Amino acid sequence: MMYGSIRSVLIVGVGLVFVAPGCGLPGFPGGGGCPNSAEAAMKASFGLQGEAEGKVRAALAAGAAFTELAAEVEAEVSAACAGLARDLGASDKDIEPKSEGPGKKAEAACQAAVSALGSVKAKASGKLQVKVVPPRCSASMSAMADCAAECDASIEPGKAEVKCEGGKLSGKCSGQCKGSCHAEAGARCEGKCTAACEGSCEGKFSGKCEGTCDGNCDGASSKGSKCEGTCDGTCKGEAKGSCSGTCKGTCSAKCELKATASCEGTCEGSCSVEFEQPRCSGEVKPPKMSAECEASCDAQVSGKVDCIPAQVLVNVAGAADAKAAAQLKAAIKNNLPALLKVTLGMKAKLEKAAANVKASIEGVQAVVKAGGEGALKAGACVAASLKAQADASVSVNVSVKASASASGSAGAG
């Protein structure tokens, strides 16, 4: 669209809103000098009276935060599917979207990945076996508290009461940690390692056993024999895989402690002292505030979610083409965790954020009924934000579906 001498008119439910020339900004198409980030929205001035000003700011901040979140999700899915497709022999042309629109980049890349997976699986033959330890995603409770205090004037900074519902608390624990300890890759572990254990495993094991395997090797019975593929059972010797018994060695992500102990990484469960930088794997419930502020903060916090990556074990039993099987295993192991972050770790949070933001923006449309210069400017921004939010919702839906399609084709359906 060209700007300058052209003047535009937007429909905003209650009437026509005039948009001044030459002032469209990214994020709010045709928005008439509207803020294009959550931070800018919270500092904007529309000249509205009373709490109306705050509600419009919060709703626009919600829309901007969700639009940014949708772009990040599409970029992550696009990159993961493109990487998977390229690792399996696809060209850049195969990955390019055939048309423009919300989510089209992710959709095209994941379609290319599904196609490439089909070709290489057929070439490798055999049985694809994929075992997944799901990602664990958590959101910052401190970020929610800070956002609430900034958005709602009735909430005193540093004293916002934020709760964690339907999930576990985690964070830095300077005292005694009771629960599980998430450490950096390669951290020492003597406990249950639900990620990848490298060392010895006393108990149920699934992965590569460089000793002897009691159980099943690539689906066939194994009683104390060496297993070159995937061992499901008990591994005596060097183990590299998922150990639900006691791992004595290093754990790539999560080591569940047997009893109260110190944790050098991130403690999940409870801490004998107050958690530092607390996070919640369930729903972060803010203090009581307006629906607009709640939607805004939810969208902003969802955009800063932190995930412990999924652990993926891949094997191709009875492969006819060893080279193709090795290519398939490497491609899935390298790229599937990023897709599972979206399909398993973030899907519910994204759906909730989309619904809350939509309701928030639609709710403040009534503000423009009051008329006046402030209402005209606010109405233009609300209409533009609603359009941007609708596109962002489409982008999220398409990206999530594309990610799920590629994940399923990779054996994690």
Per-residue model confidence (pLDDT) at position 282: 92
Q: How many CB atoms sit inside 10 A of residue 172's CB?
A: 16
Per-residue model confidence (pLDDT) at position 313: 86
Are the beta carbons of 73 and 342 closer than 8 angstroms? yes
Q: What HEC string does the chain produce?
A: CCCCCCCEEEECCCCEEEECCCCCECCECCCCCCCCCHHHHHHCCCCCCCHHHHHHHHHHHHHHHHHHHHHHHHHHHHHHHHHHHHHCCCCHHHHCCCCCCCCHHHHHHHHHHHHHHHHHHHHHCCEEEEEEECCEEEEEHHHHHHHHHHHCCCCCCCCCCCEEECCCEEEECCCCEEEEEECCCCEEEEEEEEEEEEEEEECCEEEEECCEEEEEECCEEEEEEECCCCEEEEEECCEEEEEEEEEEEEECCEEECCCCECCCCEEEEEECCCCEEEEECCEEECCCCCHHHHHHHHHHHHCCCEEECCEEEEEEECCCCHHHHHHHHHHHHHHHHHHHHHHHHHHHHHHHHHHHHHHHHHHHHHHHHHCHHHHHHHHHHHHHHHHHHHHHHHHHHHHHHHHHHHHHHHHHC
Instruction: Give Cα 69 to chain centroid, integer Å.
Output: 9
Query: pLDDT tens digit string along 140-193?
Result: 999 999 999 999 888 887 778 899 999 999 999 988 888 877 766 556 667 777
| Residue extents of the structural domains in the chain | 34-136+305-412, 137-145+156-286
Query: pLDDT tens digit string along 330-371?
Result: 999 999 999 999 999 999 999 999 999 999 999 888 766 655
Per-residue model confidence (pLDDT) at position 224: 83
Which backbone phi and psi does 404 adopt, to 5 degrees? -65, -40
Are the beta carbons of 275 and 173 closer than 8 angstroms? yes
List per-residue pLDDT tens for the chain, 413 residues long.
333 322 222 323 333 233 333 333 333 433 447 898 999 999 988 888 878 888 899 999 999 999 999 999 999 999 999 999 999 999 999 999 999 999 999 999 999 999 999 999 999 999 999 989 899 899 999 999 999 999 988 888 777 889 999 999 999 998 888 887 776 655 666 777 766 677 777 777 777 777 788 888 877 888 888 887 778 888 877 777 777 777 777 776 566 665 556 777 788 888 999 999 999 999 999 888 988 999 999 999 988 888 888 889 899 999 999 999 999 999 999 999 999 999 999 999 999 999 999 999 998 887 666 556 667 778 889 999 999 999 999 999 999 999 999 999 999 96
Q: Model's pTM, two decimal places?
A: 0.79
Q: Is the dihedral of CA 372, 374, 376, 379 positive or negative?
A: negative
Please, which residues bridge with residue 325 across strands?
Answer: none
Pairwise CA distance, residues 266 & 181, whole Å: 6
Q: Which amino acid is at 47?
A: G
Per-residue model confidence (pLDDT) at position 393: 97
